[in-house]
Copies of this chain bind each other. A is one copy, B any other.
Amino acid sequence: MAEAKFLIIKQFITRQIESRVWAENAKVPSENELANQFGVSRMTARRALQELTDEGVLTRTQGLGTFVASLKSKSSILEIRNIADEIISRGHQHHCVQIKLEAVKATAPVSIALEVEEGSIIYYSQLIHCENSVPLQLEDRFVNPRLVSDYLAQDFSQTTPHTYLSQMAPLTQAHHTIEAITPEPFQCKLLKLSGLEPCLQITRKTWSVKGVVSYARLTCPGTRYRLDSQLTF
């Protein structure tokens, strides 16, 4: 049950930092110093320092030394899950109602987002995700036809665009914005809303290695949907 040596050194270092003995940006003992102090080989001391560096606790620069990383105001992160997974993991039933699936001309804002020429032909899908038959999210999606040529041939009552697209072109990057909006009349109608309730609007732009894959606008009624996230540091 005796703990590994490099773990003991890691603990020692993190405790020095947490108890403010070693301040931010302070110099940490070198590999050789730690090795002598703890009676281990340099490689073992090195491992402790290296892992803490990978974890963002320390920073190291060759020739200079090892230092306590600046703690920087920890910005939390929120997981944005695929809504289908989310519904299913709640033990509820998910299904899509496909409303539109067609080729359209790119308007100015969409062409900028997709990085294609204004007026060029792109693919557009509109569908509603339902949880136990209640509309939960309206998905308007614009897809780059150069990267996903047979998008229009799909049937999105079976698989969602998101899962289809991630299979076709693995994501390398994503950009999200989240806003609170007052829904447009057509959105109210599709989501069966009275009209006065605010909506969460998530826009999601995704890249693969070859370029912008798709640009989606996800609209969710504020009374029915909520983004949720639990995380540990």
Q: Pick the residue among B75, B176, B227 that contacts A85 (CB under 8 A).
A: B75
- Whether B198 lies near A199 (C-beta < 8 A) is yes
* Contact call B172/A233, Cβ cutoff below 8 A: yes
Contact of A57 with B by CB under 8 A: no
Tell me if A226 and B196 are in contact (CB < 8 A): no
When all copies of this chain in the complex are counted, the total is 2
Contact with A226, one of B73, B173, B177 (Cβ below 8 angstroms): B177
Given the contacts A166-B73, A178-B178, A182-B197, A233 and B79 also touching, CB distance less than 8 Å: no
Q: Which of A78, A171, A197, A233 counts the most chain B CB atoms within 10 A?
A: A78
Given the complex, which residues of B lie within 8 Å of A204, measured CB to CB?
Answer: 76
How many chain A residues touch B (CB < 8 A): the figure is 45
A63 to B41, CA, bound (A): 26
Shortest Cβ distance from A180 into B: residue: B222
Interfacial chain B residues near A75, Cβ < 8 Å = 79-82, 85
Q: Which of B177, B179, B227 contacts A177 (CB 8 A)?
A: B227
Contact status of A227 and B173, CB under 8 A, knowing A73-B85, A79-B77: no
A221 smallest CB distance to B (angstroms): 8
A-B contact list, 11 entries, CB within 8 Å: A54-B54, A74-B171, A76-B80, A77-B78, A78-B178, A177-B228, A178-B200, A178-B226, A179-B200, A180-B198, A182-B198
Contacts beyond the supplied A73-B82, A181-B198, A198-B199: 5 A-B pairs with Cβ under 8 Å: A18-B170, A173-B233, A176-B227, A180-B181, A182-B196
